[in-house]
């Protein structure tokens, strides 16, 4: 894999963008009404989303119909930007701003917050990563780099088990165990952190000519 950081950014920003879109229809179906408060469930009457508390979201827009439309539009913009323009100058910054917009117009809580973190990571896609080469021994970077494919795969699996896995288990099989859900959340976040770490270590090995200031 030529750029592990880029693959991580593209994969998980796509998952977060799709998750943001998913909130929109539930908000639109609530019609042209005022939200119950700053925080509200996107799908309050849906049995499929009951295990996730109705998919919480927040909005600064005083209308649920408009909130749902904006949530879909900004989530689509987030998806389009991460897929087409994330490597451009200030691409990561734009991704962060779109994630903030998702957060403020009903695109959920988890998806935009993770989207902000992914946007920060996007700023490192083509970075020289000199600090990694200075402060981390080559053997450690090599070891972490070899872990990246396994961590990446486990991370994707953990997030898919979290959504839609939890919803499917609850809706079709009656499994509703808060401890199990919490465990999946911890695993998903933990593997995401490990995937970011190992991806940066892997990419730092690709740039030996840029790793030391005296080499330039």
pLDDT digits (tens, 9 = 90+) for 97-133: 999 999 999 999 999 999 999 999 999 998 888 887 7
pLDDT at 27 over 80: yes
Residue 207: per-residue pLDDT: 56
pLDDT (mean) for 193-205: 94
pLDDT at 165 over 50: yes
Residue 1: per-residue pLDDT: 53
pLDDT at 2 over 70: no
Q: Do residues 27 and 44 both lie within one domain?
A: yes
Residue 206: per-residue pLDDT: 65
End position of a domain, from candidates 88, 111, 126:
126
Q: Do residues 135 and 207 both lie within one domain?
A: yes
Q: Do residues 106 and 45 both lie within one domain?
A: yes
Of 24-38, 58-72, 198-212, least confident by mean pLDDT is 198-212
pLDDT (mean) for 192-214: 76
Q: Do residues 148 and 122 both lie within one domain?
A: no
End position of a domain, from candidates 62, 94, 126:
126
150: domain range?
129-216
Contact present, 99 and 52 (Cβ < 8 Å) = no
């Amino acid at each position: 894999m030529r750029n592990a950081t880029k693959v991580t950014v593209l994969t998980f920003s796509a998952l977060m963008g799709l998750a943001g879109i998913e909130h929109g229809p539930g908000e639109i179906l609530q019609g042209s009404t005022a939200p119950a408060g700053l925080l509200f469930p996107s799908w309050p009457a849906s049995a499929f989303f009951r295990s996730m508390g109705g998919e919480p979201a927040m909005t600064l827009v005083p209308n649920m119909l408009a909130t749902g439309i904006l949530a879909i539009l900004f989530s689509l913009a987030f998806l389009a930007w991460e897929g087409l323009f994330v490597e451009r100058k200030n691409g990561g910054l734009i991704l962060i701003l779109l994630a903030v917009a998702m957060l403020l117009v009903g695109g959920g809580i988890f998806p935009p917050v993770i989207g902000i973190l992914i946007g920060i990571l996007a700023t490192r896609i083509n970075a020289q990563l000199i600090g990694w080469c200075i402060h981390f021994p080559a053997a450690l970077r090599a070891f972490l780099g070899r872990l990246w494919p396994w961590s990446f795969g486990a991370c994707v699996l953990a997030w898919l088990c979290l959504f839609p896995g939890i919803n499917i288990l609850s809706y079709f099989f009656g499994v509703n165990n808060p401890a199990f859900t919490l465990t999946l959340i911890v695993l998903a976040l933990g593997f995401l952190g490990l995937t970011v770490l190992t991806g940066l270590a892997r990419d730092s090995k690709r740039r030996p000519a840029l790793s030391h200031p005296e080499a330039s």
